[in-house]
Structure 1
């Protein structure tokens, strides 16, 4: 789809609007609700998102959350936590788990009740539950009261009792412990009384072990569901006590066992890895392609290599996994590198894998849902775009090209601009262009000094109403003759649009363009898949 550069009339003039989803009467006023949404999205209430950098979570970093709790809006906070986790808005899940733990310890009864009621919806897997419990423990450090009150015991008991039996059997054997907590700890401390016989079976397995389960159920007339769970647990135990490679492979293929359920010695076998790859989630497979090539699990021309390449580019598989094009691009560049970031693992990139990944990159555009806003994506070519984004193998030129492609292909109204040294040039990115062609298009004009206000000025002077400006630069130090914030305000006034501005320093590790209370402005330092979500969230008034 070719981007349109046409001007659209703003639907709502300033001063005549409805409150947005963050509870603001003014769309660019940074309210406590907006700060909370930012915290839930990426772990900071500020206007800077640093790619691949987890913020340290503390009570001090959650000021807006505390303010809302003090105003008696705790139930509203819990609903927002649920929305961010259920709708996939959160770039990082730990802030939501931390916020829920904080709400569960608030003085107001209704807030605590809402938080515990939301536990199963927010903590969908054991790792989430363990993190939630650990956050509660950390929040209680230094206080003379424990965390295992009646409400938490009931909430944890309900978490186990309301699980599907087979799903729980997989969960407790795949993720046994995390953050210093285990299922045995949680079942014991919560005094869980199993709601039905299958949960009782799994509880006994976790707390007493497989031998006691065998003794307890040996002479019973067990129901069909109990027999099913027993059989599955028997397989899990059997694989842990066998060194027979053929038997391990058969158990993996017949019962869809996952690598977390195997022994370390099993994972030294190429054949075992080949069996695991057949059903491995695509996101997990993409992360280990280099290791599988280095260990010769995947060999050129083999049937296993062909099967993996088919899965990588299978449209149904890609759609089900909801993989973003940028995730595939990172996988391509990391695989091309031929060396891991940690350790000494090296490999010779296989051309068939690279070809499959390249095919998957273009197919994954179907997974990107349009936001439905008017975008202007401006690429600063004032400095060389040959640098590499920190923490990746991706050049800034290719990253900028990929970002423009995603927006140009999915949004009906997207203007692509390149600028440098006072010159700004609109360019057309069509749906049939390859990543290499788009990259070449972006570096056509000569480099010069940086002025990141040029795209906003151009749109304002040419009467183009823009909802979201996305400005991409290699340079983390922004040098602008005028304030971008002031230029954005002028554009809002003239166009009538609720315009927002995302300033992205692709090689930056923490610089911001301005310290502003304007909710319509965000800074992104570096770039990753999370940054894509942040741009979407900002465009949709969700943060």
Structure 2
């Protein structure tokens, strides 16, 4: 029998009493939903399923209990603190709260709108979710509260930021700024917002007429000048002029015409200021189109940016993101198979350097970890949806925890054998991979890392078990071993089972807040593990 404890987010295990401190509450289910879009204990990497009411049972229960304001606060926390793997679930949850029958819940949701929906794409998504929820919740959309919330969203923006936003993201999912400004009856709060509103709803010519021969404020003059540049580039066929406008005004590709993007020189100009995340995604395409050629000055500039510690820090790029991009680039072709390229050695070298330099971006969780790699099956297969072998993925995951956390044991295990692995800070990814796969293979027994910790008298907060076994045919249940470890060590131990090639297996039928399965692996999996370790889901 497990010791008694609270069902709140901070469990306290002691040596007496009965009961279950690991019971899953509606609040826990809500937090899981906000984190990865499911109330269950399985996170499926790279799955971008449409969020729906069927997935949000706990959210609805909490609303019916009159805990709407608490729900909205949780939505804000998950969307703003980087806890959510996908922001779409937070936006859906906010839309649901905004249509709830209780006035306080609706007010809290609309008040939080501009904090959660920070750019137009989020705002359009929010409105679309409201439209989809309309029938199921038997309510209207365009009431006074929504109209005011949308008016506030536009009116409280910095004018130059809003001008850039409405010209980069004009419409999404069937909604446009023109629709929202018209349906919300927005009354602009100041001249610069009025100018942008007129531009969106009436067009550039109307703006020119309205502002001609007028004494305009400094803010209006700046917005006018910016919109003039956007209009100028839209009507320009002169490659040199387009390039100059891009470089002078930091224009982005969403503000250009499709014809402009046929020019290599235009792409080279765009690359100079393009966010690093975006650069990493299109390296293959840029190499394929000969925009980045071997030995060229553009390629050197990109290589310098990729491995610049200040650029990596500013973009907050995670080492695993770089690894995903690097392995995909090394592959030499896109996932659809149409775009092919010859990987450039200097770009590969820069990405390798960036991988190690980006470790400084990571913040420790501050928990005691065991990262155990199952080497009983071949680790030569590929993690679904990526170009990374399971061996390299396992080594990278182990390295990330070993280099970031103060208390980590990395183990390789297989059929009765557990081998502690030393992953030093100076070790390369190739050396770490070799260190992990050096013991002979056998059958999978995922209890081994837990019993190893218990036998060694080590208290562990989180066990992360990485396996390539698609069937997960365990000789003994890891859940029972985990419960024993909790009792003997007094630790609030949790278990994360990562099936690197899995498509959706759970560890066990038992419900326990400390158990989580991850199918496949992606960047979001790190957020899920972090949230679990910190008692946030």
Q: What TM-score, normalized by structure 1, do the two folds share?
A: 0.96
Match of 1:70 in 2: 64
Match of 1:80 in 2: 74
State which drifts further: 457-466 or 329-338: 457-466
CA distance in 1, matches of 2:3, 2:424: 33
Change (3 A) 1:26 1:104: farther
Deviations 1:381-415 (A, max 9, x none): 00000000111110000000000000000111000
Deviations 1:288-341 (A, max 9, x none): 000000000011111111000000000001001110000000011000000011
Match of 2:160 in 1: 166
The answer to whether residue 14 in structure 2 is matched with residue 20 in structure 1 is no
The 5-angstrom pairing of residues 421-500 of structure 1 reads 421-500=415-494
Q: CA deviation at 1:482?
A: 2.2
The answer to whether residue 147 in structure 2 is matched with residue 178 in structure 1 is no
The 5-angstrom pairing of residues 107-146 of structure 1 reads 107-141=101-135, 145-146=139-140
The answer to whether residue 315 in structure 2 is matched with residue 321 in structure 1 is yes
Q: CA deviation at 1:61?
A: 1.0
2:59 match: secondary structure? helix
1:264 match: secondary structure? coil
Deviations 1:97-154 (A, max 9, x none): 0000000011111000000000000000000000000000000036765310000000
Change (3 A) 1:55 1:519: farther
1:364 match: secondary structure? helix
Q: Is the 8 A contact 2:412 2:421 kept in 1?
A: yes
Change (3 A) 1:204 1:88: same
Q: CA deviation at 1:18?
A: 9.1
Q: CA deviation at 1:513?
A: 2.0
The answer to whether residue 91 in structure 2 is matched with residue 97 in structure 1 is yes
CA distance in 2, matches of 1:137, 1:342: 33
2:373 match: secondary structure? strand
Match of 1:222 in 2: 216
The answer to whether residue 223 in structure 2 is matched with residue 234 in structure 1 is no
The 5-angstrom pairing of residues 198-217 of structure 1 reads 198-217=192-211
The number of residue pairs the alignment matches comes to: 531
Q: CA deviation at 1:515?
A: 2.1
Q: Is the 8 A contact 2:99 2:137 kept in 1?
A: no
Determine which of 375, 383, 400 is the counterpart of 2:369: 375
Q: CA deviation at 1:55?
A: 3.0
Match of 1:250 in 2: 244
Match of 2:511 in 1: 517
CA distance in 2, matches of 1:127, 1:17: 40
Q: Is the 8 A contact 2:280 2:325 kept in 1?
A: yes
2:273 match: secondary structure? coil
CA distance in 2, matches of 1:288, 1:20: 41
Match of 2:495 in 1: 501
CA distance in 1, matches of 2:244, 2:506: 55
CA distance in 2, matches of 1:507, 1:145: 43
Runs of 4+ in structure 1 displaced over 4 angstroms? Answer: 13-18, 21-27, 142-145
Deviations 1:186-221 (A, max 9, x none): 000000000111000000000000010011101111
1:118 match: secondary structure? helix
Deviations 1:16-65 (A, max 9, x none): 67942699996522111110000000000000011111233211210000
The answer to whether residue 390 in structure 2 is matched with residue 396 in structure 1 is yes
1:416 match: secondary structure? strand
CA distance in 1, matches of 2:171, 2:389: 38
Change (3 A) 1:356 1:416: same
Determine which of 115, 133, 147 is the counterpart of 1:153: 147
Match of 1:7 in 2: none
Q: Is the 8 A contact 2:7 2:24 kept in 1?
A: no
Q: Is the 8 A contact 2:99 2:139 kept in 1?
A: no
State which drifts further: 122-131 or 141-150: 141-150
Q: CA deviation at 1:342?
A: 2.0
The answer to whether residue 294 in structure 2 is matched with residue 297 in structure 1 is no
2:9 match: secondary structure? coil
Change (3 A) 1:447 1:415: same
Q: Is the 8 A contact 2:446 2:476 kept in 1?
A: no
Q: Is the 8 A contact 1:27 1:498 kept in 2?
A: no
Runs of 5+ in structure 1 lacking a partner? 1-12
Change (3 A) 1:376 1:144: closer
CA distance in 2, matches of 1:415, 1:171: 46
Q: Which has the higher contact order (CA 8 A, sep 6+)?
A: 1
The answer to whether residue 249 in structure 2 is matched with residue 260 in structure 1 is no
Match of 1:4 in 2: none
The answer to whether residue 318 in structure 2 is matched with residue 348 in structure 1 is no
CA distance in 2, matches of 1:537, 1:146: 36
Q: What TM-score, normalized by structure 2, do the two folds share?
A: 0.97
State which drifts further: 27-36 or 405-414: 27-36
Q: Is the 8 A contact 1:330 1:393 kept in 2?
A: yes
Q: CA deviation at 1:525?
A: 0.3
Q: Is the 8 A contact 2:7 2:23 kept in 1?
A: no
Q: Is the 8 A contact 2:450 2:485 kept in 1?
A: yes
Instruction: Output the aligned Cα RMSD.
Output: 1.6
The answer to whether residue 281 in structure 2 is matched with residue 287 in structure 1 is yes
